[in-house]
Amino acid sequence: MSIRNMILLGPPGAGKGTQAVHLVEEFGLLHLSTGDMLRGAVEAHTNLGLQAKCFMDAGDLVPDELVIGIIRDRLGGADVRDLGVLLDGFPRTLVQAEALAGVISQLRLGELIVINIAVPDELLIRRLSGRRMCDTCSEIFHIDRDGVDVGDPCPTCTTGKIYQRSDDQVEAIAERLRNYHAKTAPLIKYYSERDMLISIDGSGTPDEVHRRVMAHLELGA
Ligand code: AP5
């Protein structure tokens, strides 16, 4: 199956970032994560970053017009047309989904498949509260599985330091889950009605989930 463009949909902690790493390798797609783009803007103290930071720290969604603006600009790049794109964390509202449909059609970017990774809330809370990241190579870890914690050197790139995302605190996680159920979960119906949705059980190990995704894409794993 040749894949042009893909959306990874799912609640916070579903494993979108974890699965994206394998899928972009497998299909040669460009990985665009709105979360990573926004965190980069916060880090660089850009105007966008300054506007986004308070929403992100509180676990709220950044306003649609800001996120749609950065995605619209990025999708216009020649690399997106050449490689195809994997969107991780976008769209997250019906307004964003409609805007994306318009941009894809206007830029003639081709077909879009939506993979929804479903995981129960209790498991999401465990995954998010134990997530740790490398500040240099951005590798994603979990304290239970990988035995790393804040301040440790990154076992992958060895130069980076392990940190915890500011929105992985208990209150922010609860708010992110509330926002997911109210604003993002309706996209499952939206894409299902348009016959674009593949739903995957996101419990089990990252490898098991990856194999399920590949099996659904009829490629085998
Ligand atoms: P974003 O960075 O997109 O965060 P998110 O959607 O909340 O998703 P996460 O990155 O938290 O989780 P993930 O599904 O990628 O899971 P991961 O693979 O890391 O967005 C952050 C913020 O930016 C938002 O809250 C919002 O403010 C803003 N934003 C972004 N996009 C926006 C948009 N479109 N509109 C408005 N605002 C936007 O895995 C999590 C943990 O679980 C890791 O420790 C991992 O190792 C572990 N894990 C993963 N898979 C498994 C598995 N199968 N088994 C065991 N452990 C696993």
What's the CA angle centered on 14, arms 11 and 20, to 5 degrees? 110
Question: Ligand 1 centroid to 92 CA: how many Å?
Answer: 12
Q: Report the catalytic residues.
A: 16, 92, 131, 165, 176
Contact assessment for residue 87 and residue 97, using Cβ atoms and an 8 Å cutoff: no
The answer, yes or no, to whether any atom of ligand 1 lies below 6 A from the CB of 139, is no
pLDDT of residue 219: 57
The answer, yes or no, to whether any atom of ligand 1 lies below 6 A from the CB of 18, is yes
Q: Which H helix or E strand runs over 30?
A: strand 30-33
What DSSP character marks residue 163? E
Strand, coil or helix: 114: strand
pLDDT of residue 218: 74
pLDDT of residue 108: 93
Sequence-distant (6+) residues with CB within 8 A of 133 are 139, 140, 141, 162, 163, 164, 165
Task: Report phi then psi at 140, rounded to 5.
Answer: -100, 130
Over 60: is that where the pLDDT of 221 sits? Answer: no
pLDDT greater at residue 218 or residue 47: 47
pLDDT of residue 4: 86
Over 80: is that where the pLDDT of 165 sits? Answer: yes
pLDDT band at 1 (very low <50, low <70, confident <90, very high): low
List the 162-163 sheet strands across, edge first: 140-142, 131-134, 162-163
Over 80: is that where the pLDDT of 20 sits? Answer: yes
Can you read off the two tokens belonging to residue 33? 């994560």
CA dist 20 → 27, 87, 156 (Å): 10, 9, 18
The percentage of residues in the chain with a pLDDT greater than 90, rounded to a whole number, is 95
- Ligand 1 pocket test target in 21, 127, 168, 212 with most atoms within 8 Å of CB: 127
pLDDT digits over 61-87, tens only? 999 999 999 999 999 999 999 999 999
